[in-house]
Amino acid sequence: MKRVLITGGAGFIGSHLCELFLKKGYEVICVDNLISGNMDNIAHLFGERFTFLRYDITNPIWIRGHVDYILNFASPASPVDYMNHPIETLKVGAMGTYNILELAREKGACLLHASTSEVYGDPLIHPQPETYWGNVNPIGPRSVYDEAKRYAEALVMAYHRTYGLDSRIVRIFNTYGPNMRPNDGRAIPNFISQALKGEPITVYGDGSQTRSFTYISDEIEGIYRLLMSDYHEPVNIGNPEERRILDLAKLIIEMTGSRSEIVFKPLPKDDPKVRRPDISKAREVLGWQPKVPLEEGLKETIRYFRRLMREGKI
């Protein structure tokens, strides 16, 4: 039986990947230190083919037996989390990635590294192709995440070139769906939680900044296709449909039937003004493009958040 190890496996995207690989018949080893992961995301997965290991991969990691694939999703990913854990974010991007690469090298495993659209920073090219090197403030408050991910990409490519490690790099754009934490800090969970509670919807800046939102089922399909390909350089996996943040807030108010008002607060430092992936590479190499419209994905996400509210978790 093939075995896959998923770091950050109790997190939002990681937990969906654990479920995907179980459905495909793999044995799954989920590793998470639970800084931002949530055991509720994986509670239903426990069984003979699923193992959970609470562990911090900034320490060297040893796994008994063979491992065929490693998916490295260990890192705080929302601004709230990496602002609260700046050193841990840098350490997992550097030391954690190094330790996972060493494990992949020891096991002869194929490694897929989760990178991010944040490597493009506040982009001066729009939409952003993989060939764009980015516009990142290396010492700004967001740099702990941006630069950790940029360094990790360089480290993965160095292992590929030096040791012939079979590697993949996915650049993930804004993704949403069930298993997101209500206090995640990103736009969609913030807006839905505030709308359901009847609280003011917080929009930073004037709301004219744009993002491109990918539903979780589309995202993990793209990630899986990349893993099963033989393409070693970074690939954008995201939705090229661009939305203004203010329009998103209004849509969520409408879809939840909320009476919440919108309030505006100052835009955080170095917050990107635009964000939209060029997915030509994903279409060409993987035959992938997103299928789920924003309204359909939001409907499922709102249903999930309503359940959390009934359970007293919002």
**pLDDT (0 to 100) of residue 63:** 97
Measured between alpha carbons, how far is 184 from 105 in angstroms, rounded to an integer?
34
Measured between alpha carbons, how far is 244 from 145 in angstroms, rounded to an integer?
23
**pLDDT (0 to 100) of residue 270:** 78
Q: What is the CATH number of the domain that holds 219?
A: 3.40.50.720
**pLDDT (0 to 100) of residue 314:** 85
Cβ contacts of residue 311 below 8 Å, gap of 6+?
Answer: none
Residue 167 lies in a domain: yes
Residue 99 lies in a domain: yes
Same domain? For 68 and 185 the reply is no
Residue 282 lies in a domain: no
Same domain? For 29 and 133 the reply is yes
CA distance to 183, 254, 266, per residue, from 192 (Å): 10, 11, 20
Same domain? For 258 and 218 the reply is no
Same domain? For 153 and 52 the reply is yes
Residue 114 lies in a domain: yes
Same domain? For 58 and 164 the reply is yes
Q: Where are the beta strands (DSSP E) in 1-145?
A: 3-7, 27-32, 50-54, 69-72, 110-116
Place of tokens 């995201």: 238
- The residue range of the domain holding 187 is 177-211+241-272+292-307
Q: Roughly how many angstroms between the first and final C-alpha of the chain, as a whole number?
A: 40
Measured between alpha carbons, how far is 101 from 3 in angstroms, rounded to an integer?
17
Residue 19 lies in a domain: yes
Measured between alpha carbons, how far is 165 from 40 in angstroms, rounded to an integer?
34
pTM (2 d.p.)? 0.96
Same domain? For 107 and 181 the reply is no
The residues that bridge with 18 in the sheet, in sequence order, are none
Cα dihedral: 90, 18, 283, 231 (round 10): 60
**pLDDT (0 to 100) of residue 272:** 85
Q: What is the CATH number of the domain that holds 189?
A: 3.90.25.10
Residue 129, preceding peptide bond in cis (omega within 30° of 0): no
Same domain? For 137 and 182 the reply is no
**pLDDT (0 to 100) of residue 143:** 95
Residue 206 lies in a domain: yes
Same domain? For 115 and 11 the reply is yes
Number of domains the chain contains? 2
The reply to whether 145 belongs to the active site is yes
Cβ contacts of residue 265 below 8 Å, gap of 6+?
Answer: 202, 203, 204
**pLDDT (0 to 100) of residue 271:** 83
Same domain? For 119 and 265 the reply is no
Measured between alpha carbons, how far is 80 from 145 in angstroms, rounded to an integer?
11
Same domain? For 90 and 181 the reply is no
Catalytic position from the list 145, 159, 176, 215? 145
Mean pLDDT by 10 residues, the chain (314 residues): 98 98 98 97 97 98 97 95 95 98 98 98 96 96 96 98 98 98 93 97 95 97 98 98 97 97 91 93 98 98 97 89
